[in-house]
Amino acid sequence: MCCCHWGAQTVTRPCSWVFTLRTGAALCLSMGSYHCKCEKPPWKGARRSSYYVVLFLMIGVLIFYIWFSRLLLPLTIWRVRNDTRTISPFHHLTSQFFVEYPHRYQFIVDQPNKCRQERPFLVVMIPVAPQNREARDIIRCTWGNETRVLGRLVSYYFLLGKSRIGNDTEPPDEQILLESRTHGDILQSDFLDSYKNLSIKTMVMLEWLSTRCLNSSYAMKIDSDTFLNVNNLISMVMHAPRRGYMTGLVARDAQVLRDPHSKWFLSSDVFAEPSYPPYALGLGYVFSMDLPERILEASRHVKAVYIEDVYVGLCMKHAGVPLTDPPHDGLFVASPPSYMSACYLSSVIATLLQSSKEILYVWEVYKTQPQSDC
């Protein structure tokens, strides 16, 4: 045994204890004689308080981490409730993971009668950022110019939010108005256009379809960085049910991503179950015209998550409408081959590209290369 002197105190401990203390608080001067003198180092007080500070910081970080990952959420009073207009002192942190969709956005640039008058068989809706004029022009001169296909009329509309938060009286952008006058295909609503607001955009799109396109049979939502084979689309839809129909690349049993760094992170207070109900991936999905109204009705009872396609899937589930798989695989493609041949392009309906610029290149291949020996 060794003994250590702590000021006036004498403590007897096994030597191993002294050895471990040596580096920290105690200094052993004499070991061989089973006797050691422990000196209180002059910096001990300062060091001890810095230990406390570090300890507090670690506990703080741990609590924050646990709170953030929602492990303790069912136990806390900050649980985000049904109505989503809540309560949490950290509301600004949680609010980005769901969106509020109050059903009250207005169109500031609209085509109120065009769809009703033209009565297209299928309406293609393309969400795009207001400033992305380039993508709109590319689509207009590629697949967006295919308006009569297999004897059916197809029409195309671009769906925009506002590019900045303005006040209610602020007029729409001059450029957008001009573009709308030239092409007649712009729909702009007065919510702020952002990635986290895409669910709002989709709901606004459904509102527009359900009020302005009553005499159309089908609609499709498609991303702007996508190649669309309108011919294959129409030929598939011509054999599809007229009601309760939605198809695309259907994800089943998709796991909810709980990593806060993921682009599609969703915390368990916003969505508790480990996997999503079936939903059609947002790159492109097609639906019969009875669905916009049914999805909107369901959306009044389903808390809006910011992942647009998942939210539509949640509403479909609530409405009790099952998703339909496309007639065969490979029609809707989220990870296309690096080289897209004319044969490939003539076999798909929608395939995701790296950017809307790539549509130009792919369109050239599709239109100019022979598809006879596919």
Ligand X SMILES: *[C@@H]1O[C@H](CO)[C@@H](O)[C@H](O)[C@H]1NC(C)=O
Q: Which residues form the interface with ligand X (CB under 6 A)? A: 82, 116, 140-141, 145, 167, 169-170, 191-192, 194, 196-197, 200, 214-215, 301
- Residue 172 CB-half CA count within 13 A: 23
The one-letter amino acid at 293? E
Closest distance of CB 234 from ligand X, Å: 16
Say how many C-beta atoms besides its own lie within 10 A of residue 222's C-beta: 27
| Helix then strand then coil, % of the chain, to nearest 5 | 35, 20, 45
* Pairing of β 152-162 and β 9-13: unpaired
The one-letter amino acid at 275? S
Residue closer to ligand X (CB basis): 170 or 364: 170
- Which phi-psi region, left, alpha or beta, contains residue 326 (left: φ > 0; alpha: ψ -120 to 50)? beta
The token pair at 89 is 């002192």
The token pair at 56 is 């507090």
Please name every residue paired with 288 in a beta bridge, in sequence order, or none if there are none: 218
User: Residue 295's closest CA among 228, 238, 221?
Assistant: 221
Residue closer to ligand X (CB basis): 82 or 335: 82
Residue closer to ligand X (CB basis): 100 or 371: 100
Closest distance of CB 215 from ligand X, Å: 4
What is the rounded distance in angstroms from the CA atom of residue 260 to the CA atom of residue 246? 31
Q: What are phi and psi of 115, to 5 degrees?
A: -65, -40
Closest distance of CB 200 from ligand X, Å: 6
The token pair at 165 is 């938060």
Closest distance of CB 164 from ligand X, Å: 10
Closest distance of CB 133 from ligand X, Å: 14
Closest distance of CB 50 from ligand X, Å: 41
Residue closer to ligand X (CB basis): 58 or 192: 192
Contact between residue 344 and residue 229 where contact means Cβ atoms under 8 Å apart: no
Residue closer to ligand X (CB basis): 66 or 87: 87
Residue whose CB is nearest to ligand X in the complex, by number: 194
Residue closer to ligand X (CB basis): 213 or 250: 213
Closest distance of CB 294 from ligand X, Å: 17
What is the rounded distance in angstroms from the CA atom of residue 205 to the CA atom of residue 185? 13
Residue closer to ligand X (CB basis): 200 or 295: 200
Residue closer to ligand X (CB basis): 45 or 102: 102
Closest distance of CB 169 from ligand X, Å: 5
Contact between residue 70 and residue 93 where contact means Cβ atoms under 8 Å apart: no
